[in-house]
Amino acid sequence: MKYLNNVTDKGIVLSPSEKGEKYYDWDGGGIREAVVKRVGDTYYLSYDGAIPGAAPTSYWNACEAVSKDLIHWEKRGVTLLSSALTHPESDNLHYKDFCSASSPWDFFDGKKWYRYYVGADHCSPEGIPAFIYSTMLAVADSADGPWRKLCDEPGKGNFVCIRPGGEGSWDEVTASPGQVIENPRYKDDPENEKRYLMFYSGSCAGETKRSIGIARTDDLCAADDFACLTGNFWIKDENPIIPPQDDIENTSIFYEEETGLYWLFTNHIYNNEYTNSVWVYWSRDPESWNPDNKAVVIDKTVSTFAKGAIGMPTVVRISKDKLGLLYDGALGDSTSHLGRHIGYAEISLPISVK
């Protein structure tokens, strides 16, 4: 595998709260799935906080921190709660996010903020979200929230934006959210093109293999009952953009205007066990990707602290010549899903491959 040039890992920038600290009850079990956005001069980091205890009730909830420099962060606490906590009288048959409301990706259409997050209706004995994953929706009038979950509206507990595919499909057990972009073809052909594209994660049953698919819509509020095989969902392309044999999940898209290239940052899964590195693919067309055009961004030789599990990346442009990347990782050789930290790396622009 090739590597990106000029990647500098800065180490851990955010850690789980210690006992006695303000947010220990929400993220003391670990923090992961770093998703960053920039609004003005403020960076917002959404991360999954694991309730401490490694028990079936150690649910993962979306938490937030803010920063001015991507290195020094102020935690703000929970922004999305699992329905098990807000509707304890109910169950996972009525709420698709009963066991986890996590990994949110935000999109602003100029008027309203849309948040697409992972809803999991099952979890492991340690509280780790388990298949099936669906893409669910929350909205807000401000980047600061508060976020209103669609599933909290009467009769909409099972409403999802993207549901997993049918039996035998490549996305049979996972249809979890990724970054949303405006379709560059929409302006020239609005009658035949959908305005928005989401690069979502899918995975199959059996010997799980994962990849990235494209879902399309003109309506950012599109959602319907999970029980419906067809309905007002985002429209999924039939096939993934990368062969599932690459075994990747999660997406963060960076369009480099100076070169006309789209860079898709994602996780690689090692031996169907854990994510062990950040990869990047590149293309001039966001709907067409050559699986040979890829390189390693972060692995155990690049990270200063994570030599085993290396989790989901997101990128944000800092300046004309610098791109910031946040990712989660376990200390040392650990491959645990719990007890993780958030790391930060910088990439020189223009992006180049060794």
Spacing of C-alpha 95 from chain mean position: 20
Give residue 62's pLDDT band: very low, low, confident or very high (50, 70, 90). Answer: very high
Structure tokens at 184: 């560059």
- Domains of the chain: which residue ranges? 2-348
Across residues 54-60, what is the average pLDDT? 97
Across residues 124-136, what is the average pLDDT? 96
Span 227-266, pLDDT tens digits: 998 999 999 999 999 999 999 999 999 999 999 999 999 9
Structure tokens at 244: 């599932």
Residue whose entry in the numeric block shows the structure tokens 């200063």: 304
Could you give the percent of the chain with pLDDT greater than 70? Answer: 100
pLDDT of 27 reads 98
Across residues 116-141, what is the average pLDDT? 97
Handedness of CA 55, 61, 65, 71 (dihedral sign): positive
If you average pLDDT over every residue of the chain, what do you get?
Answer: 97
pLDDT of 206 reads 86
Q: What are phi and psi of 246, to 5 degrees?
A: -70, -25
**pTM recorded for the entire structure:** 0.97
- Report CA-CA distances (Å) from 90 to 93, 94, 190: 8, 7, 42
Could you give the percent of the chain with pLDDT greater than 90? Answer: 98
Give residue 51's pLDDT band: very low, low, confident or very high (50, 70, 90). Answer: very high
Residue 207 has pLDDT above 90, yes or no: no
Span 318-350, pLDDT tens digits: 999 999 999 999 999 999 999 999 999 999 999
CA–CA separation, 219 vs 83, rounded Å?
25
Q: In CATH, which superfamily holds the domain spanning 2-348?
A: Glycosyl hydrolase domain; family 43 (2.115.10.20)
Which helix (H) or strand (E) element contains residue 27? helix 24-27
DSSP state of 246: G
Span 137-147, pLDDT tens digits: 999 999 999 99
Spacing of C-alpha 71 from chain mean position: 20
Q: Which residues contact 19 (CB under 8 A, 6 or more apart)?
A: 28
pLDDT of 233 reads 98
Spatial strand order in the sheet of 294-298? 2-3, 294-298, 274-283, 261-270, 248-256
Across residues 23-45, what is the average pLDDT? 97
